[in-house]
Amino acid sequence: MWILAAAALLIVLCYSVVPSFALRYLQTAKRKKAGREKVLYLTFDDGPGGKDTEDLLDLLKEYGIKASFFTVAAFAKQYPELIVRMKEEGHLIGIHSVHHNNALFRGNKFTYSDMAESMFTLKKLGCDVAYYRPPWGHLNLFTIGWIKRLNLHLLFWDVMARDWSDKETPDTICSKLMHRVFPGAVICLHDGRGAAGAPARTVEALKMTIPMLMEKGYRFKRVDEDE
């Protein structure tokens, strides 16, 4: 029995876990080695999230920041006006699956249909997406193949602050971001889903964090400006 369990674990590791972590590690290592000037890339997953996304867009507009949004297609359908606003205000729009399903135990058919449907949904909203971030940070071997065939760019992240958790506060999120950023870092935050009130806490955290980072000389760009 233990042999079967070990074999199953090995398959899962090779199919999803190892490729996911290896590719994320390589992307971060590449950005750190590049030694870029003090530029940061704000990215947001799991939205759009209604009023929380509206408030976030208001904040970004106030500071003249262009960010990158990895949207869940089902939420994009629910809030098409926010997708239009993101595009009009110069933000990059990428895909983050249809329903935020984990690819860990998914096969080829699901992997393709999830990515293709996400792209089609955003296309109908006027967005030709070129960037993809897998939900939960998990891809599988089929994902890698379809990313190439669909001419997408895979983008992970370098910095997180667990802003989706109800254990975090605006102060703790701000503190984590300030201690973890480095020149060229891709920051992953969330403008949808998460524990009750999580996206609103993220917006409050950014109200503190953005001016502090700017005081340290950091600027903000979309991920496609230098990637």
pLDDT at 37: 85
pLDDT at 33: 87
Q: Are 43 and 92 in contact (CB under 8 A)?
A: no
Query: What is the average pLDDT score of the chain?
Result: 93
pLDDT at 220: 97
- Is 70 exceeded by the pLDDT of residue 9? no
Which residues, at least 6 apart from 194, have a Cβ–Cβ distance to it below 8 Å?
46, 163, 164, 165
pLDDT by residue (tens digit) across 11-51? 556 788 899 999 999 999 999 988 678 999 999 999 999 99
For range 123-127, the mean pLDDT: 96
Q: Are 166 and 22 in contact (CB under 8 A)?
A: no
pLDDT at 143: 96
The token duo for 131 is 């960037």
- Please give the sequence-ordered ranges of beta strands (E in DSSP) within the chain, or none if there are none: 39-45, 68-71, 92-95, 131-132, 153-154, 186-190, 219-220
pLDDT at 187: 98
Q: For residue 93, which of 137, 120, 128, 64 has the smallest C-alpha distance?
A: 128
Residues in the chain: 227
For range 63-80, the mean pLDDT: 98
**Percent of the residues in the chain that have a pLDDT greater than 70, as a whole number:** 93
pLDDT at 100: 93
Catalytic residue among 91, 96, 138, 190: 190
From residue 166, alpha-carbon distances to 2, 55, 179 in Å are 37, 19, 20
Q: Is the pTM of this model over 0.85?
A: yes
> Annotated catalytic, 226?
no
pLDDT at 167: 94
Q: How far apart (Å, rounded) are the C-alpha atoms in residues 176 and 169?
A: 11
Q: How far apart (Å, rounded) are the C-alpha atoms in residues 76 and 118?
A: 9
pLDDT at 3: 65
> Annotated catalytic, 58?
no
pLDDT by residue (tens digit) across 156-199? 999 999 999 999 999 999 999 999 999 999 999 999 988 888 99
Catalytic residue among 45, 46, 55, 163: 45
